[in-house]
Structure formats: structure tokens, C-alpha cells
Structure 1
Amino acid sequence: MGLFNRLWKDLRTTPVDTLVRWQEQRFLWLLMAFVMGGLIILAHSFFQIYLYMAPCEQCVYIRYAMFVMVIGGLIAAINPKNIILKLIGCISAFYGSIIGIGYSIKLNGIHHAVHNPDPDSLFGVQGCSTDPTFPFNLPLAEWSPEWFKPTGDCGYDAPIVPDSVTLSSFQQWFVDLYVQSEGWYLIPAWKFMNMAQACFLAFAVCLAILIVMTIAWGIKLSRGRH
């Protein structure tokens, strides 16, 4: 509690200097890399492999955006006081969060369309292929198909368990939970916040923090020049 109070006091009294000091430490950059990397591993290892939720095209694009942020965070964390490394981290984080928001919005629109009882809602819906095209034509689906090859349909993220598989009781509980909710939700029983919306929130929070930190850095540099 004492540490929190001191940090809060520093933030109130010298907000710009405090924010710049925070971003020149490894913690925030490693935290971003850890959170985004954790979300990728959770999506792949738990939901895709353990619960048989096949990723769609937009899902693997979201993974790509998160992966870019992981790389940027790790590069900046080498030495956050080095301007070049910090710029690489900032650019990667901004790029990943912005395109991630775009992919999440597109996936949310598709999710809404496929779950809409009106069949006309599917008219014009695009963005669900098993042959993804990543930015810069990166062949990620060829390099690492288990992580970046889409095998599912956009908007349909309920578990599909092969007939030959015998689930443990723990697996069965989760599978039943998401089958009953007809897909992934943060709170399945209430169908609260689908996967696209949860990813949007994660990217948006990161982007907001990045904007605040960059503004503080800009103000600090401007003061130095004067």
C-alpha cells in the first residue's frame, strides 16, 4: 500500500516526469509482452488444442497483431532508455494494437451476423478464408500452421470435438459450457463479451496507455529542447 501511495503521489505531482520514468523501466514493456504473449498461448494451448475451438482467419490475424506487440515489448525491454530500441517498441506496439482493433471489429461484425436470426444479415459478410494473407505477405501459416493456419469458421467458435477423442471430466465441463453458450464468451452463462470484443478491449487498453505514455514522452522531449 505504501508503494502504491508513493506512485500515486508522484503521478499527481509530476505526471509527465513520472510517466516518462515508468516507460524507461523494463516493467511496462515486459508486462505488455507478457500479457499479449499469455493471450496467444491461452488461445492456442487451452482453447484451440485442449478445448478444440478451431481458429478462424480473423483469429489468426489477431494473434499476429499480439505477436508483433510481444516482439516490440521484448526489444524495448532490452534497454528502454535507448531511443532506438524504445522507438521500435513504440512503433510495434502502436501498429499491433491498431491493426488488432481493426481485426477485432471485423470479427465482431461477422460474429453478430452469423448469430443473427435474420438470414439477410450474412449478405456481404467477408473475411473468413482458410488461406490467410498476413501483412507484408508473411507466410506465417506455412512457417507455423499450428499457430497461424485458420481451420475454423469466423463467428463460430464453439468446441468441435472429434469423435475419436475421449475427454477428461475437466475438459468435458468446459466443452459443455461453451457448447451451451454457442461459442466463447467471457461469461458464458450470460453470453457476455464475445472473443472479438474481449480482444478489442485488450488492444484498446494497450493503445490508450501507449497514447498517454507517448504524449508524456513528447512533452519531456519538448522541454529538453527549450
Structure 2
Amino acid sequence: MIRILLADDEAMIRAGIRAILATDPTLDVVAEAGDGRQAVDLAIRHLPDVVLLDIRMPRLDGLGAAAEIRRVAPETAVVMLTTFGEDDYIAKALDVGAAGFLLKSGDPRELIAGIHAVAEGAAYLSPKVAQRVIAQLAGGRMARGAQARDRIEGLTEREREVLALLGAGLSNAEIAARMHIVEGTVKAYVSAILTRLDVRNRVQAAIIAHEAGLVA
């Protein structure tokens, strides 16, 4: 069962999202918050697997709440759920450690797929958000490619293999199965990779993997 904390300042939006999640018997909304500060408090209390955060909320916005939750509950995955798809929101969400970014206007199936992905240790961007990220990567790709290759120079061959699979979107369990190692070892590799690359989350590491040419 995937335990979820839902945070949005609009009760009707929360009800709609809760109804979508109820269609999947493996998802359980354990708490709801109407503002960012309450979301942080409830995350500490319940330690959910996934927190769904709206970006614009009173007292503490979703980006601020995401940063705090990642600090006090690092095992909890954060997914930003918003009506806003501007590039600055996407960049800030990834920078504070969000593992996923979904638009409220997207297909409800994306919401369920995204929750399962981040709960399994992968990252998830809605197709529209992914298009924006890819478009940003397209500009100045050669320069960034050289920088990315320099950044992965310090990785071991095994770490590069893990990074390539991470960049391909595989979860920790899928990487473990592919490499014939236990999932705990994969988690250790991922943690070391994030530290060596000086990035905060899997999405940023995956981008470097693509820029460095580790992923087709």
C-alpha cells in the first residue's frame, strides 16, 4: 500500500484528487492539508511514502513545503501537482528535490502512474512538462554535454551503469533486477551518485545522464 499525503488549499480540488486516487486500491490517502505549513507538520507525523503538493498555498507555498519535507523526511517522495506549467516553477520544483511534477489539467492516469513511479524510487514528469525540459536541453546541448561528461568522470564504471539505467527511467527495483544486485545496493549507488554529481534528486541526475550520452 502506498501511503499519500495530499496538500491543496482548495477542498474541492482535494476531493477530486482523492476520488481519482480511490480508483486504485493500492493507494491510501492518510492525511490532507490545506496549506504548506500543515503539510510539513503532517508529513513529519505520518511519514507518508508520497506527498502531493500544490504549488500555490497559504502560509507556506508548495516549493517551500517541498524543501522542508525533503529535509525532515528524506525517504518521502514529493510530487508537485499544479495548474501552472511555467518553466520557472518546473526548475524550482526540481531544485528543491521534487521527484515528480504533474499538471492538474493532465490525464488522471498520469497522476496514478506518477505516484507509483516516485514511490518505487523513480522520477516522473507529465508529458507536457517533459516536453519543456527536453526543449530546454536542446538549446546549448553540445556545451552541456561536455560539462556533463566532465562531471561523470569521477564515477566508477558501476556507478555509470546505475546512472545510465536511472536516466532511462528505471526504478531502484528495476535497476537491481537488471544488474542482478539487491535493491539496497542500488540505493547506496544512487546516493553516492547524487553526492558525486552534486545534485539533489534523480531528475537532475537523469538529465546529466542524457547530456553525457549515457542514455540514447
Larger RCO (CA within 8 A; separation ≥ 6) = 1
Structure having the higher helix fraction is: 1
TM normalised by structure 1 equals 0.26
Structure having the higher strand fraction is: 2
Larger radius of gyration: 1
TM normalised by structure 2 equals 0.26
